Amino acid sequence: MSVPSVADSSELPSLEESLQLVDRARAGDRAALGELLTRYQDRLRRIIQIRLGPRLRGRIESMDIVQNAFVVAIRRFEDIELRDRASVLKWLTRVATHQLNDAADHFSAQKRVGTTNRDIDRSSSEGGRRPEPSAADTPPDQAAARNEFRALLDQAVEDLPERDREVVLLRDYHDGDWEFVAREVGAPTVEAAQRAYHRAWARLRETLAPYLDDASG
């Protein structure tokens, strides 16, 4: 049973493109910096949305976290080190995770002192996940089907055990190579990381089977 990819690889810039954009941004080209961040925005939003979990999703809007992360990223842009295709997204995710943790701590503090429904973020009234922007040349029905699948996939990834979830996020959402994945999850070898990844995808295929059967029918 085949499963559609997390996203088209063309959505993210290649390492060469990233290097060019970073060089231009460091030379003071604000447009290049904006283009670089925009190319990663939706993939970063999906990663943060998955890591929010159901407890925080009604209180914290993933795009707010992403936008706050971009503000910090612009100030600290010199900190980025480009080693591979996953470097920019890894760095942005680290910045965004700090923002997410700060927001979660703030939410917990509010909960201890007591908050009202007025403090609930607008994400709860918007029905959770935002639709993904579609490419201009993608037919509306195909874009809708793609976005529907990705929402289902993101939810299935979120429901995985933590280690399985991280392997999938690092490999498929970050586009990381196997050495990167193994290093980040603390796997002793690349082969161990690959085995964990295949186990995770076996779970995902089982979860997504009803949807895939309907789509193929």
Per-residue pLDDT of the chain (217 residues; tens, 9 = 90+): 445 556 555 567 787 888 888 889 888 898 988 888 888 898 999 998 898 877 777 677 888 888 888 888 888 887 888 787 788 888 899 889 888 888 777 666 766 565 444 443 433 333 333 334 444 455 667 767 778 888 899 999 999 999 999 999 999 998 889 999 999 999 999 999 999 999 999 999 999 988 776 655 4
Q: Does some domain include residue 131? A: no
My answer on whether 111 and 145 are in the same domain is no
Q: Does some domain include residue 133? A: no
My answer on whether 61 and 101 are in the same domain is yes
My answer on whether 193 and 101 are in the same domain is no
Task: Report d(CA 9, CA 75) in Å as an integer.
Answer: 28
Task: Report d(CA 180, CA 127) in Å as an integer.
Answer: 35
Q: Does some domain include residue 88? A: yes
> What CATH number does the domain containing 66 carry?
1.10.1740.10
My answer on whether 103 and 144 are in the same domain is no
Q: Does some domain include residue 99? A: yes
- 3-class state of residue 46 by DSSP: helix
Task: Break the chain down into helix, strand, coil percent, rounded to 5.
Answer: 75, 0, 25
Residue type, 208: L
Number of domain units in the chain: 2
My answer on whether 113 and 167 are in the same domain is no
Domain boundary (90, 122, 154) is at 122
Task: Report d(CA 68, CA 63) in Å as an integer.
Answer: 8
Taking the complete model, does pTM exceed 0.75, yes or no? Answer: no
Print the domain residue range for 35.
6-122
